[in-house]
A and B are shown apart, each in its own frame.
Chain A
């Protein structure tokens, strides 16, 4: 384990009633970088996220955050340890306003409503949603909801942010905006980001490092350009004889 690793997965496996969804996956995430986790559908990416975020407990292996074993933590405990996450299908608190949604996240770091409000407003500003602060969450468009989801997770002041297909359904210009936002966040806040994506444009543009999983196993990792040329990766996306 290298000194600067924020997140370490050590031979993590998870089985669902006979289906081995995650098969002895190991990798390390250095602090303050953006790492992409890619692979075909059903490869196990979201399961890995859910394992890190505490939704599932691994059947075997260790998950270390800044040296601390967080495997088997409840989701709220994982959040307190420093993990923030978004969901693949966004889950806004529909009846609450945009600001109130983010305040729920902000409250993790202090119970005073006024402080939470100002923290929330600051995050909304970063994500370009400040003008929608008073709007009801259910009235937002999908791209706005995705940004709200990120803002809310960000408000908990995580050390590691897990982004689950946050670009899905966005237009290219919106994707570029998100890429710029995340790059700036990682740089300015020292935030570590692990993202899963199918939108290759975003992954390649954002990530310094890419991990590829297929059938629950890690099959390749490295800089984006290297991974894009790897034979095994090409095969898992396009099949043989391509």
Chain B
């Protein structure tokens, strides 16, 4: 797809990028932690969007890849002192293999649509149970990373203040955004969209549907794992029952669904809206002693968007702002 970049679009992008860069400088520690959550949600949404928004494959088990990235990197660090970035690469490889395995198995047997979604959930939950019994990574009691108080940010060892993690995730998000844009402009992007729209017609035009769907799943899985690995060093503790849950998978898809599946900026916008409003909800809930208000809001947001604006907020907003991007 040609993604037109007129002057308005460029200006808007510049403003957004500038804001993203300078925001942490003015933020207190609470806002910073929220920004990290936002950036993580945006990044994960962008990765999931490649699989669903472009290739049309609904994955509801993406927490699997986050978890694999996190656990592999963390376990290698804890047991062998392996550099976090090397561990990250290992985690990405494992997640890519998992994604390829699930994709190959499913597509070889013609499992699509909702059944495929159920399969992804099954693999995720099964992995969760496995990790509960996997003592090398701490089992259900959890895996803990040693934390030292630092005076400076150490990017090499992924130890530092929240701002560091924010900027790392920001860089990765920008990279995935650029990658998505590039892929959409090339044959692979066209082929993915064709598969998403009508698989049989795509095949009749010479597209090896199996290969391209597999590529989308594997790429999405690999990219997702990056966030898992990075965040493992931010949270410093991992439990299978928090990392591999279906609720986590649902959280991953909520931001891109709200923002606009298949668009470039939808996941980012969705993450922004959800994170800010979600935190507001948690505060309101704390004031009134009502737990779970944020979850309730997430559920309501999903229902409302699917009812009122199934294409997401970004297509609506961009029409209002008359900013260019051919959304799909």
A/B contact in complex, CB under 8 angstroms: yes
Q: List the interface of chain A (C-beta within 8 A of B).
A: 53, 55, 74-76, 79-80, 84-85, 87, 91-96, 100, 103-105, 107-108, 111, 113, 116, 152-153, 156
- Whether A76 contacts B185 in the complex (CB less than 8 A), given A53-B204, A104-B191, comes out as no
* Among candidates B185, B202, B207, B328, residue contacting A95 with C-beta atoms closer than 8 Å: B328
In the complex, the answer to whether B205 meets A104 with C-beta atoms within 8 Å is: yes
In the assembled complex, 26 residue pairs joining A and B whose CB atoms fall closer than 8 Å, in A order, are: A74-B203, A75-B203, A76-B206, A76-B208, A76-B209, A79-B206, A80-B206, A85-B204, A87-B204, A94-B197, A95-B262, A95-B328, A96-B193, A96-B197, A100-B1, A104-B202, A104-B205, A104-B207, A105-B205, A107-B191, A108-B205, A113-B186, A113-B187, A152-B205, A153-B204, A153-B205
Total number of residue pairs linking A and B with CB closer than 8 Å: 74
Q: Which residues of A have CB within 8 Å of B197?
A: 93-96
Say yes or no: A100-B205 contact (C-beta < 8 A), given A91-B200, A94-B197, A113-B185: no
B201 within 8 A of A: yes
State A103–B194 Cα separation when bound (angstroms). 10
Q: Are A111 and B186 in contact (CB under 8 A)?
A: yes
Residue in A closest to B203 when the chains form the complex, CB atoms: A75
A116 CA / B1 CA spacing, docked (Å): 12
Contacts of A79 in B (CB 8 A): 203-206
Q: Is the beta-carbon distance between A100 and B203 smaller than 8 angstroms?
A: no
Best-surrounded residue of B186, B191, B201, B204 (most CB of chain A within 10 A) = B204
Q: Please indicate the chain A residues that have their CB under 8 angstroms from the CB of B205 in the complex.
A: 76, 79, 104-105, 108, 152-153, 156
The interface residues of chain B lying within 8 Å CB-to-CB of A95 are 193, 197, 262, 328
**Chain A residues with CB under 8 A of B186:** 111, 113
Distance (Å) between the CB of B315 and the closest chain A CB?
11
Bound Cα distance from A113 to B187, whole angstroms: 7
Q: What 8 pairs across the A-B complex have the smallest Cβ distances?
A: A79-B206, A93-B197, A91-B201, A108-B206, A75-B203, A111-B187, A104-B194, A107-B187
Across-interface contacts of A103 in B (CB, < 8 A): 190
- Cα–Cα distance between A29 and B191 once the two chains are bound (Å): 31
* A96 to B186 alpha-carbon distance, docked (Å): 14
Give Cα distance in the complex from A87 to B207, angstroms: 16
Residues of B within 8 A of A104 (CB): 190-191, 193-194, 202, 205, 207
A84 to B191: give the CA distance in the assembly, Å: 17
Contact A75 B193 (CB under 8 A): no
User: Shortest CB–CB separation between residue A6 and chain B, in angstroms?
Assistant: 18
Output the least CB separation between B4 and chain A (Å). 11
Please tell me which one of the listed residues B193, B198, B207 contacts residue A91 in the complex, with CB atoms under 8 A apart. B198
Q: Roughly how many angstroms separate A116 CA and B208 CA in the complex, as a whole number?
A: 18
Closest residue to B185 on the A side, CB-wise?
A: A113
Question: In the complex, what distance in Å separates the CA atom of A165 from the CA atom of B186?
Answer: 33
A107 near B190: Cβ-Cβ < 8 Å: yes
Give every chain B residue within 8 A of A85 (Cβ-Cβ).
204
**Contact (A75, B190) CB under 8 Å given A93-B198, A94-B197, A113-B185:** no
